[in-house]
Amino acid sequence: MTHNKNKLAALIFLFLCPLVSFSGDPKPLKEGEIYNPVPAIMHHIADSHEWHLWGEGKKSVSIPLPLILYCDGKLDVFFSSKFHHGKKNVKIEDREYAMDHGHLVEVNNKEFIDLSITKNVASMLLSVLVLLLLFVGAARKSNKDKAPKGLLSFLEPLVLFVRDDIVKPNIGHGYKKYVPYLLTLFFFILVNNLLGLIPAAANLTGNIAVTLVLSFITLIVTNLSGNKTYWGHIFNPPGVPLALMPIMIPIEIVGIFTKPFALMIRLFANISAGHIIIMSLISLIFMAQSGLGNAGAFGVAPVSVLFVLFMYFIEVLVAFLQAYIFTLLTSLFIGLATVEHH
């Protein structure tokens, strides 16, 4: 009984941790001013040149990330901590950089290329490391003569599910050459979705630039795999009267791009929406405190926390669901491009 209580306490603690990380340390409000949650929410879902952990202002705790800037034929490398402690500008020889609302600018309006390791880039590298550790570790322990155990018993069903229930039925003959890409796609999205739910983590799959690249790769793979039947349906739609060809052909060409575009928006919107909802529910506590005092905060807090816990369980489901949908639709698009006409 005690063991079960400890498990329950640990689970509750795990899901309450985000309250500390997400809420941060709100700035002092003037008398009668209502707490505005929008800056905190946008700060949470946006990319950054530092990995913020908790706190605001002087009490802020964050991990500085390297800034790599190519300007005037020279490479400038320094950490984002250079902008902390009251320093507004960083001067290197005749080049002077400043941070303007989270964006790097060159004070003298010189052109530069930003190759910095931002929070999202660092999170992506971390996810790659996690995937390597998971699959290299699982591969070393694999044994065809024995039933899978431990980590392998969790990963193997997922791999078989993607291969046998997603890729094979949708692509059909010749599916094997697409399995590595689609497995990578599924686990990359899944791991980053789950990492995004950890307190103070990056919102990588909620960044439209990331979902754009994933969708663009799907676009390239799909169209490079297209056979004569696929291109024939686009430039010579069967069963369409000749008079309607000038209308149908442009529609088919636009359809090439709208399918990956829908993939991009779906993943971005679903992941971002989950983060925004959780942040909004947490913000209700501070809004109640600023409007009704501590009594209002204590009254709203239990309801807010319960809804946040509920949303966290939903977000775990969404993490798996969005990885599944993205991989399923990618498989379907490849299958439509490679199907043979009979």
Residue 20: the pLDDT is 47
pLDDT tens-digit profile, the chain (342 residues): 555 555 544 445 444 554 444 444 455 666 667 778 888 788 778 888 888 787 766 777 888 888 888 888 888 888 888 877 556 788 887 788 888 777 788 878 888 888 889 899 999 999 999 999 988 887 777 766 676 677 777 888 899 999 999 999 999 888 999 999 999 999 999 999 999 888 888 889 999 999 999 999 999 999 999 889 889 888 988 888 888 888 899 998 999 999 999 999 999 999 999 889 988 888 888 888 887 877 877 888 888 889 988 998 999 999 999 999 999 999 999 999 998 765
Rounded distance between C-alpha atoms, residue 98 and residue 109, angstroms: 11
* Cα dihedral sign, 76-78-80-84: negative
Distance of CA 298 to the CA centre of its chain: 33
Tell me, what DSSP letter sits at residue 103?
A: E
In sequence order, the 6+-apart residues with CB closer than 8 A to the CB of 40 are 22, 23, 24, 26, 279, 283
Dihedral angle over CA of 318, 323, 325, 330, nearest 10: 160
Rounded distance between C-alpha atoms, residue 341 and residue 107, angstroms: 61
Taking residue 145's Cβ as centre, other Cβ atoms within 10 Å add up to: 4
Residue 200, by phi and psi: left (phi above 0), alpha (psi -120 to 50) or beta?
Answer: left
Residue 8: the pLDDT is 47
Rounded distance between C-alpha atoms, residue 255 and residue 238, angstroms: 16
* CB-neighbour burial class of residue 252 (10 A; exposed 0-12, middle 13-18, buried 19+): middle
Structure tokens at 265: 């928006």
Rounded distance between C-alpha atoms, residue 137 and residue 199, angstroms: 26
In sequence order, the 6+-apart residues with CB closer than 8 A to the CB of 66 are 77, 78, 79, 80, 116, 117
Q: What are 76's strand-pairing partners? A: 69
Structure tokens at 55: 């706190």
Q: What are 95's strand-pairing partners? A: 92
The H or E element containing residue 183 is helix 179-195
Residue 2: the pLDDT is 54
Rounded distance between C-alpha atoms, residue 12 and residue 31, angstroms: 35
Question: Letter for the amino acid at 79?
Answer: F
